[in-house]
Amino acid sequence: MTSYRTTSCAVVRRVLLAILSIGLLVTAACGVPAPSGSTASTTLTVAISNNPSSLDPQAGPSGTDHIALYPLYATLIEFDPETLNPTPGLAESWSFPEPTTLQLKLRENLQFSDGSPLDANAVKVSLERFMTQTNKADLANVTSVEAPDPTTVLLHQKTPDTSLVLVLADRAGMVVGPTAANPDFAQKPVGAGPYTLVSYSPGDRILMKRNPNYYGEQPPMQNLEMRIITDPKAAASALLSGQVDFANNLDANDIPQLENSGSLTVVSPVGLWFDMIYFNLAQKPLDDVRVRQAINLALDRDEIIQGTVNGVGEPARQPLPSAHWAYDEASTSIWPHDVERAKQLMAEAGYANGVTLTVVCTASPLEVRRNEIIRAQLAEIGIDYQVTPMDTNQGVALYFEQQGANAAQYAWSGRPDPGQTYSRLFSQNTYQNPGKVAIPGLDAVLEKAVSTDDPDQRAAAYAEANKLIADFAPYAPLYFHGDVTAYSNEVTGYTPNLLGKPKVAFLDKSSEAG
């Protein structure tokens, strides 16, 4: 995978290294707690950047949850890390006996972590529960689920939708156990993943142990500890001091310090994860397409990448990065940096004298830095970008559920199939569209895109969708992340995936295991 990276001059590099060294040492001195317990030799310790919004995969809305969910829940479908093509999971095979019916054949003798049977009826119950939960839009096209025998599941759809296979590699396919009906399920989750929950202390850590009932090969480490470290510099310090073995979502400005340690491996592949400004299309001034277009023209995406993440990323003008099979080359010309044209559009919309835009973002140094750059760029066209940093879960609720701000500057974490990304971001009645405003003609194009499994036909349909989206400007894409990930040289088995959501359950630190 490639990443867009700008090279600084030697003087700036030396100054940056000095600042980073001081900053990381100060952070380390502030005292990140050391791992507890006497099982360090059999424990892999991973830093995660946020509290999970929920350990119930059907309830939480945050894309950062997956690193904690993957070890606890096996999915019906898996995916190839490089291509995202579907591979067997709990379902060893699948087919479409009819255009609107997906048939899954489950492995035999599957069990949940509590020993209860994971058969077709359990999958049916899990999928039906999902269709009533926060993320139900992923299965909005499913009309019913059948379990004609213990290893066969049939999903019936309104219209043909081949993206359903990879939908089942995401939250919808994380089969929840029979205790999911209990109100405290999120605190005592039961899944079928390689690990099972021991304890969860919000703001501190999540402890897991091997699941003896896992259907596949047991993970190499007996215990998995996830330490919640919201400050990327604190996570980098914990890596440098050996307190954690693995961390992602790190600050790209810390790459030189991490690389120079000699004890860490650092990678920064560009994946599906991209930052954007979500627009509430029902609120002024964003109810005017000219304002939305003006914002996109005023943004200098290269400057944002350089100023925020030291050039590690790729400018975004569509929902897919250049490494993806459905990437649309023609979209590179969408929304060039054109301040004068943006000013004209603002004047045409009646805002020649300026307008205020209320925005929420995550309260972290990286996010604040990005939004200060955006604020300065939009000030050039008369927009007073009033951004309020806050806890991510609180901000998400404020914007998406309470509609308490005009816009939100958050990331979209990507989905295994592009059909999910396009429908969740741009369809009328999804969680990500709080204003519930439809893009004319888009639904028909998106339906066409998932009616076939031919990648060329699908890519052509998404290119058509990109034109409709660019004209309507329902959001402002910023850049695809280079997911800065670092881990101890003693850790083996890590494979980055295009989805950009690390799978850490099978990482090995056996050189310490004894």
Count up the domains in the chain and report the number.
3
Whole-number pLDDT of residue 35: 40
Give the Cα separation of 270 and 484 in Å (integer).
Answer: 9
Cα separation values, 301 from 9, 129, 291, 309, 373, Å? 21, 41, 18, 12, 10
Q: Are 154 and 231 members of one domain?
A: no
279 and 246 housed in the same domain:
no
Q: Indicate whether 392 and 253 sit together in one domain.
A: no
pLDDT of residue 511: 60
pLDDT for 331 equals 87
Query: Percentage helix, strand, coil, to 5, in the chain?
Result: 35, 25, 45
CATH number at residue 206: 3.40.190.10
Note the residue count of the chain.
Answer: 514
The pLDDT, as a whole number, for residue 40 is: 56
Q: Consecutive sets of 10 residues in the chain, 514 residues long: mean pLDDT of each?
A: 34 36 37 42 92 92 90 97 95 97 98 97 97 90 97 97 96 95 92 97 96 96 96 94 95 93 94 96 98 98 95 95 94 93 98 97 91 98 97 91 96 90 92 94 95 94 96 97 94 93 93 46
310 in a structural domain: yes
- Residue 470 lies in domain: 271-482
pLDDT of residue 30: 37
CA–CA separation, 203 and 356 (whole Å): 34
Compute the chain's Rg from CA coordinates. Answer: 23
Which one-letter amino acid corresponds to residue 191? G
Task: Give the residue from 220, 241, 269 where a domain finishes.
Answer: 269
Structure tokens at 97: 């006996």
Q: In sequence order, which ranges of 321-439 are alpha helices (DSSP H)?
A: 339-348, 365-379, 392-396, 418-426
Domain CATH number, residue 396:
3.10.105.10
The answer on 411 and 277 residing in a single domain is yes
84 and 175 fall within a common domain? yes
Q: Does one domain contain both 352 and 278?
A: yes
pLDDT at position 332, please?
A: 86
* Residue 423: strand, helix, or coil: helix
Cβ(338)–Cβ(344) below 8 Å: no
Under 8 Å between Cβ of 51 and 67? no
